[in-house]
Amino acid sequence: MANALHIVVCAGIVPDPLQTLEPVTGPAGPGLKNEMVLPAVLDPWAASALYEAAALAAKNPGSKLWLVSLGPKAKLQQVMMTVAQKVPFELVPIDGPIGGFPDAHSTAAVLAETIAALPGLDRTKLLLFGGWESATRGAGVTLQLVGERLGITDQFQGVDQIVQIDLGDSGSFEVLERVEGGKHQVSVCAGAPAVLGWATGNLAEPRNNPQVGMANMRTIMPALQKAKAAKLDANGLSYVSVSLPKQQRTTRVVKDLTPDEIAVELVAWIGAE
């Protein structure tokens, strides 16, 4: 089919945002206290990418969707129990370290190698999706590095929308990327292959669908069992210090002023240099 897409979504797993995080330093470098027992979720921006990818794949018959994720197998399995119920995909797990402190270049190298080896992947139809930044390292470089390693020179970051212009052979599309000042830059790309790092997108989180979950889990469990182990090099990166911010403010709690009195105080504060 002329407009069938091969979409690969790179998505990591991160601690649930509601968890309290405390850094610790071990023999392997910095990490989080009790990291392996913290509840984890799919990285929020990467999750947006997954939902957008699934919607795009559904609109283009014959498309394929892979979810490539690097993390400890046990944590991946826990997160996939929920994610698998959202949209249909083929999981490509990589058994590796968790967290934001490993080097992004090593992560990108492992992801690129895995994607390049995906059976049946047609790189001329490839749309490489992911979050524009992770909620762990937040570097916003992994996807670009993977793209460069795969030779893709049409890349977009902070994507909120993709609109297919030509559903025929060319497959061109319009992309809205976040830029400074609350604006979107509008670009037209001639078609795949391309890299799209997603921000929030426009789609709500899909409701859980047990049938989708059952179908996904048939392939997810065997894939997890066969997941290759990856070791990430530091690439000369070292941590001088890792700490929680110490800034604690002395909060003045004002309980006994009327709205008018508060307003007067606020206006004086707003006007003060």
Partner 1 sequence: METILVLTHADETGSALTRASLETVTAGLELATRLSAPLTIGIVATDATSAAAALAETGARLLAVSGEAFAQARYASDAAACEALCRAANATIVLAPGSSRFTRVAAGVAHRLSGYIDTHITALGGANTIEASRWFYRQRIEAVISRDLRPWFLLLDAGTHAAFAGASGAAKVEEVAVQLPALRTTVSGFRAPQQDQQTIRPDAKMLLVAGAGWTKKQPDGQIHVAEAAKLILGFLHVTGASLGSSKSLVDQGGEGEPVLPFLTHMNQIGQTGATPRHAKGLSTCCHGEEPHVVGWRFIADRRAISLDPNCGWTRGKADVVYVADAFPVMAKVNALLEAAKA
Given a contact cutoff of 8 angstroms between Cβ atoms, the answer to whether 105 and 235 are in contact is yes
For partner 1 (CB under 8 A), the number of binding residues is: 84
Nearer to partner 1 by C-beta: 32 or 227?
Answer: 32
Place of tokens 């003045």: 252
| Count of other CB atoms within 10 angstroms of residue 92 | 21
Task: Convert 182-206 to b/e letters by CB count within 10 Å (16 or more is b).
Answer: eeeeeeebebbbbbbbbbbbeeeee
Nearer to partner 1 by C-beta: 119 or 236?
Answer: 236
DSSP state of 11: -
Nearer to partner 1 by C-beta: 3 or 157?
Answer: 157
Site for partner 1 in 74-113 (CB under 8 A): 100-101, 103-105
Site for partner 1 in 151-180 (CB under 8 A): 153-158, 160, 174, 176-180
Residue 93: closest CA among 107, 77, 116, 109: 77
Nearer to partner 1 by C-beta: 164 or 200?
Answer: 200
Q: What mask of x and - would describe binding to partner 1 in positions 111 to 140, judged by CB under 8 A?
A: ------------------------xxxxxx
Nearer to partner 1 by C-beta: 120 or 181?
Answer: 181
Is residue 73 at the binding interface for partner 1, with CB under 8 A as the rule? Answer: no
Contact pick of 119, 182, 210, 231 for partner 1 (by CB under 8 A): 182
Nearer to partner 1 by C-beta: 75 or 105?
Answer: 105
Place of tokens 């999981």: 91
Q: Could you tell me the smallest distance in angstroms from the CB atom of residue 31 to partner 1?
A: 11
CA distance 60 to 123: 17
Residue 160: closest CA among 52, 88, 13, 66: 52
Q: Which amino acid type is present at position 39?
A: P
Nearer to partner 1 by C-beta: 229 or 270?
Answer: 270
Helix/strand/coil for 189: strand
Name the token pair of 21: 């995080």
Contact pick of 1, 37, 229, 253 for partner 1 (by CB under 8 A): 253
Site for partner 1 in 29-48 (CB under 8 A): 30, 44-45
Site for partner 1 in 206-235 (CB under 8 A): 235
Sequence-distant (≥ 6) Cβ neighbours of residue 22 within 8 angstroms: 32, 33, 244
DSSP state of 35: G
Is residue 147 at the binding interface for partner 1, with CB under 8 A as the rule? Answer: yes
Is residue 191 at the binding interface for partner 1, with CB under 8 A as the rule? Answer: yes
